[in-house]
Amino acid sequence: MREPAAYSAHEQLVADARARPELWRLLFGLFIVGVLYVTLNSVLFALIGGLIPPDQAQGFLRGTSALATLVLLMSFGFLTLGVAVAARQMQHRSLRAILGPRNQFRQQFVFVALALTVLGVVMALLPPYGMGEPLTQNLTLSTWVLLLPLSATAVLIQTSAEEVLFRGYIQQCLAARFRSPVIWMGVPSVLFAAGHYAPGVTGDNALLVTIWAFVFGLLAADLTARSGTLGPAIALHFLNNTVALLFISLPDTLSGLALYLLPYEMTETGMLRQWLFVDFAVMIVCWMTARLALRR
Q: How many CB atoms lie within 10 A of CB 179?
A: 12
The span from the CA of 223 to the CA of 158, in Å, is 19
Name residue 137's beta-bridge partners. Answer: 260
Q: Which amino acid is at 52?
A: I
What do you get for the CA distance between the two ends of the chain, in Å?
Answer: 30
Q: What is the pLDDT of residues 212-251, one digit of tens each?
A: 999 999 999 999 999 999 999 999 999 999 999 999 998 8
Provide the pLDDT for residue 200.
84
What distance in Å separates the CA atoms of residue 210 and residue 295, rounded to the nearest whole number? 30
d(CA 137, CA 264): 14
pLDDT tens by residue, 17-48: 999 999 999 999 999 999 999 999 999 988 88
As a whole number of angstroms, the distance between CA 67 and CA 142 comes to: 16
Q: What is the pLDDT of residues 76-113, one digit of tens each?
A: 999 999 999 999 999 999 999 999 999 999 999 999 99
Contacts of 181 (CB under 8 A, 6+ apart): 1, 3, 4, 7, 221, 225
Q: Are strands 260-261 and 136-137 parallel, antiparallel or unpaired?
A: antiparallel
Q: Binning pLDDT at 50, 70 and 90, where does residue 4 land?
A: confident
Short-list 108, 236, 102, 58, CA closest to 162: 236
Task: Give me the amino acid identity at 295.
Answer: R
> Half-sphere exposure of 254 toward its Cβ, with a 13 Å CA cutoff?
20
Q: Residues 103, 173, 287, 69: is their CA dihedral positive or negative?
A: negative
Q: What is the pLDDT, as a whole number, of residue 130?
A: 66
Q: What is the pLDDT of residues 140-190, one digit of tens each?
A: 999 999 999 999 999 999 999 999 999 999 999 999 999 999 999 999 999
- pLDDT digits 0-9 by tens, 274-296: 778 888 999 999 999 999 999 86
More confident residue, 268 or 118: 118
Name, in order, each residue with C-beta under 8 angstroms of 172's C-beta and a sequence gap of 6 or more. Answer: 13, 14, 17, 98, 184
